[in-house]
Homo-oligomer: A and B are copies of this chain.
Amino acid sequence: MIRNKKLSEEEFFKQRKEVLSQWHTGKEVDLDEAIEYHKNLPPLKNFANKMRYAKEHNEIYASTGMGKATVEEQIELLQYVEEHGKADLLGLSPDSLTRQNDYKAAQQGLEESMRTGKSKLNGLPVVNCGVSGIRRLVESVNCPIQPRYGAADARLCDEILFAGGCSNSSPDLFMDFWQHSAKVSLETVVNTHQYVCRLMGYYTEHGVPMCAGAQGFYAAGIPPSLQTATVIISLLLQVEQGVKHLSVKCAGHGNLVQDVVSSKVRLNLLQEYLDKLGYRDIEMFPGISFNLMQYPVDIGTNFAVVFMNTLMAKLIGAQQNDIRTVAEAKAIPTKEDVADTFRTAKAMENFLQKQKIEIDKKEADIEAQMEEKEVRSILDKVLEFGDGDVLVGAAKAVETGVLDNPFAANRAAAGKVLGIKDSEGAIRYYNTGNLPFSKEIIEYHKEKIAQREKIQGKSINYETLISDLLAVSNGYLV
């Protein structure tokens, strides 16, 4: 049964036994010892601490996923990127078999990779490497290592990552439900995520700050309000279980006014709902990614994408500049790809750090007003559905298409909503599906689309949708 309610310690530890027995490395996890281990790490190896440091010093850190099949390869990668990429944060991507809890297949991949000396997995088989493997990583570098992945059930994997010395994760309800699994039910994902957050809360309560966070879902081509609604729901799940430090992520689409506004709206409304629902002392760290459906194949355009991402980060005051490497479209990036990308991002950040630039305030005000209305419409409907319980409401909202995603991998999505760019590259609702929007909102979007049709002198169709999705990849905004 879905409920947004903190797991009791009893429930939690009962479930925990089961989780740790899913693979033999689960035995290595000793919570008390792990808490001690964290306390003995240098303070800035803790993710939340490092984020706070960035905030206080007005710094922006590049971050991205990076994963190799073995601990040795991963160490080589991380050390290379730390040194040659001037990295402030390192990444760790588990492979997709691990994400799907197929530890047996992952073990085969790991063994084959070790035998052949060639990476046979698209990331690190974290569970198979165990706590000691992760600690070797953590101890091999100076930066915090940020696990970066989505999964329907990350419980065991996160247990091992945390015990290994990692101090953040993204138990991102809608990302994981819609994007990372085809058949799982919302209830299952809620349960696994409550578990992970309860675990993070436990560490936090025992003096080890753990940073959770969410981006909502992979929203390329979909207007920001829908993503914002799902982000806030995910974060409300997290704080209920005791998480105190949040990385509040936003997906930019390329129109800077819209992107900056959506980050602001997200932070403001989150604070509002936290206050309303009685959650106190929550620390927030904004982050941003340039959310493309397809990264450019051309290296030049790729650098331009990194640049836009960094400019967005600067304009929203992000601590995390969530980028992809310039080899993203091709294959698993090499260590050189990652380092080159990080170095560029670092130079851009350095160049932008102290600049006094901003988006047009008048445009921003209108945009913010509309977006707030949209998010409130969705969230209020969700709360109404759930009689005040945001997760109960979310389940109903998914069923009825009040929460929707046209590009979900999961079958459980109405898939009616569609987005399209306006003449300035902001994303508008082409189809609002069952979103509970007022006429005013619907008209606003229609008008923006009509304006584009007028300027371009042709009407919008399915081809336009696809070309919009791929525009940035081809070096255009619209």
Q: Which residues of A contact B (CB under 8 A)?
A: 86, 254-257, 296, 298-301, 303-308, 311, 315, 340-344, 346-348, 350-351, 353-360, 363, 423-425, 472, 475-478
Contacts and interface: CB of A to CB of B under 8 A. Distances in A.
Contacts of A342: 300
A315 B256 CA distance: 14
A347 B315 contact: no
Nearest to A426: B354
B477 A348 contact: no
Nearest to A303: B303
A315 B347 CA distance: 20
- Most chain-B Cβ atoms within 10 A of its Cβ — which of A315, A340, A350, A358? A350
A477 B353 contact: yes
Nearest to A259: B355
A472 B342 CA distance: 16
B359 A254 contact: no
Contact of A304 (B305, B347, B355, B476): B347
Contacts of A257: 355-356
A334 to B, nearest CB: 14
A475 B300 contact: no
A182 to B, nearest CB: 34
B356 A360 contact: yes
A476 B350 contact: yes
A357 to B, nearest CB: 5
A461 B86 CA distance: 28
Contact of A308 (B303, B351, B354): B351
Nearest to A355: B256
A53 to B, nearest CB: 18
A301 B477 contact: no
Contact of A425 (B304, B348, B354): B354
Contact of A348 (B307, B344, B350): B307
Contacts of A348: 304, 307-308
B256 A344 contact: no
A255 B355 contact: yes
Contacts of A472: 351
Contact of A347 (B256, B301, B346): B301
Contacts of A315: 357
A343 B301 contact: yes
Nearest to A342: B300
A432 to B, nearest CB: 25
A358 B358 contact: yes
Given A303-B306, A303-B344, A358-B360, 14 more contacts: A300-B347, A301-B343, A301-B347, A303-B303, A307-B348, A308-B348, A311-B311, A347-B475, A350-B476, A354-B478, A355-B424, A356-B359, A356-B424, A357-B357
A476 B348 CA distance: 9
Contacts of A350: 475-477
Nearest to A478: B354
Nearest to A477: B351
Contact of A363 (B308, B347, B356): B356
A298 B477 CA distance: 28
A425 B299 CA distance: 30
Given A350-B476, A359-B356, A344 B304 contact: yes
Contacts of A359: 355-358
Given A300-B341, A303-B303, A340-B300, A256 B357 contact: yes
A70 B327 CA distance: 36
B356 A357 contact: no
A344 B363 CA distance: 28
A361 to B, nearest CB: 9
A419 to B, nearest CB: 18
Contacts of A340: 299-300
Contacts of A308: 348, 351
Contacts of A476: 347, 350
B300 A351 contact: no
A357 B316 CA distance: 13
A254 B351 contact: yes
Contacts of A358: 357-360
A472 B351 CA distance: 8
A288 to B, nearest CB: 15
A360 B344 CA distance: 25
